[in-house]
């Protein structure tokens, strides 16, 4: 029996799955192994801990692994990718396939097939795959200029909306909530904190916005509505890009059906009102779009890819293999 390892190596945490082509045998999670965010010593400790947990749960030795796929946040940073590749090569057997973390999330939803995935956690972007395997992307240009629908932008929009509410003499629960979260007491304090450098972690305000919106706060609901609509706009852009690619190849294929849209990431998963606004906006533009009801599970996408790329270990765009 062949065993495979799927790893979602994010900026703040690492999620792993060990299993066969059909069954999950163990799951583990731990700290980040991205050496641009943590020290090599901490990355070593985190990797060792999650691998040991997988072995203990499954009873499968790492020397029995047929292939490992890692979805890596920061794959374009050579020092990050090289460290992960080297650290795994000394611990597990079989080829090691490195991909962007968005690709394993896409595979979790569509198993190599056609579809669009909206990713919105601390940051955001949208990635999709056409029926002929070409990738399309929208957004993901970073927290200052992009990241629509993500925690950082939700928090930033909330602070802006709070100041606007002050100008408009509109009451909002966001003001005391932000004061409590930041330990500030006056508008002047908020101005100084909100404009400070380095930039504060606006993403930590997103849960406060969700709570206020759930309690009926109009300002918070407008922030989440805007965020959901902005994320929807990225999805629609990716759909149009994908449709253009498919249209150019239409002589080789039968007509396509509607797009299917999936989602993943802490913000779009946990803030239902934002997600509902995204869905409503997309359907207003294209009523035929279908949606997956459950969020994509990125480590499962890595496991799927590990089990299916042995005959094509390049894994497609955004992936690389280093066998050993």
How confident is the model over 185-209, as pLDDT tens digits?
A: 999 999 999 999 999 999 999 999 9
User: Given 3.40.1190.20, 3.30.420.40, 3.40.50.880, 1.20.58.1000, which CATH number is that of 3-94+298-322?
Assistant: 3.30.420.40
Q: What is the pLDDT of residue 318?
A: 54
- Provide the pLDDT confidence category of residue 254 given band limits of 50, 70 and 90: low
Please give the pLDDT value at position 44: 97
What local confidence, expressed as pLDDT, does residue 247 receive?
87
pLDDT band per the 50, 70, 90 thresholds, residue 36:
confident
Q: Give yes or no for a contact between 115 and 261, defined as CB atoms under 8 angstroms apart.
A: yes
pTM here is: 0.90
Q: Kindly report, residue by residue over 65-79, the tens digit of the pLDDT.
A: 999 999 998 888 899
As a whole-number percent, the residues of the chain with pLDDT over 70 amount to 94
What is residue 255's predicted lDDT score, i.e. its pLDDT?
A: 63
Domain chopping of the chain, boundaries = 3-94+298-322, 112-293
Q: pLDDT digits over 258-317, tens only?
A: 999 999 999 999 999 999 999 999 999 999 999 999 999 999 999 999 999 765 544 455
Query: Is the pLDDT assigned to residue 136 strictly greater than 80?
Result: yes
Q: Are 236 and 289 in contact (CB under 8 A)?
A: no
pLDDT at 102: 92
CATH architecture of 112-293: 2-Layer Sandwich (3.30)
Same fold for the domain at 3-94+298-322 and the one at 112-293?
yes
């Amino acid at each position: 029996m062949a065993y495979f390892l799927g790893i979602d190596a994010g900026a703040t945490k690492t999620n792993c799955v060990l299993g066969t082509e059909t069954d999950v045998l163990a799951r583990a999670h731990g700290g980040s192994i991205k050496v641009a965010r943590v020290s090599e010593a901490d990355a070593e400790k985190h990797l060792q801990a999650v691998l040991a947990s997988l072995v203990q749960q499954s009873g499968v030795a790492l020397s029995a692994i047929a292939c490992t796929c890692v979805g890596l946040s920061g794959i374009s940073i050579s020092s990050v990718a090289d460290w992960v590749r080297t650290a795994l090569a000394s611990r597990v057997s079989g080829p090691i396939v490195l991909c962007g973390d968005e690709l394993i999330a896409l595979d979790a939803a569509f198993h190599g097939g056609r579809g669009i995935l909206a990713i919105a956690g601390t940051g955001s972007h949208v990635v999709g795959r056409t029926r002929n395997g070409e990738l399309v992307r929208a957004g993901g240009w970073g927290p200052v200029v992009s990241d629509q629908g993500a925690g950082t932008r939700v928090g930033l929009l909330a602070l802006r909306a709070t100041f606007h509410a002050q100008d408009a003499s509109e009451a909002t629960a966001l003001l005391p909530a932000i004061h409590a979260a930041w330990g500030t007491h006056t508008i002047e304090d908020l101005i100084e904190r909100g404009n400070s450098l380095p930039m504060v972690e606006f993403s930590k305000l997103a849960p406060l916005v969700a709570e206020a919106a759930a309690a009926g706060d109009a300002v918070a609901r407008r922030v989440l509505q805007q965020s959901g609509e902005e994320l929807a706009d990225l999805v629609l852009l990716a759909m149009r890009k994908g449709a253009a690619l498919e249209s150019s190849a239409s002589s080789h294929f039968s007509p396509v059906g509607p797009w299917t849209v999936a989602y993943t990431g802490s913000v779009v998963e946990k803030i239902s009102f934002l997600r509902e606004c995204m869905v409503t906006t997309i359907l207003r533009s294209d009523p035929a779009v279908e949606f997956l009801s459950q969020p994509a599970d990125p480590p499962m996408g890595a496991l799927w890819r590990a089990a299916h790329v042995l005959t094509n270990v390049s894994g497609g765009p955004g992936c690389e293999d280093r066998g050993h």
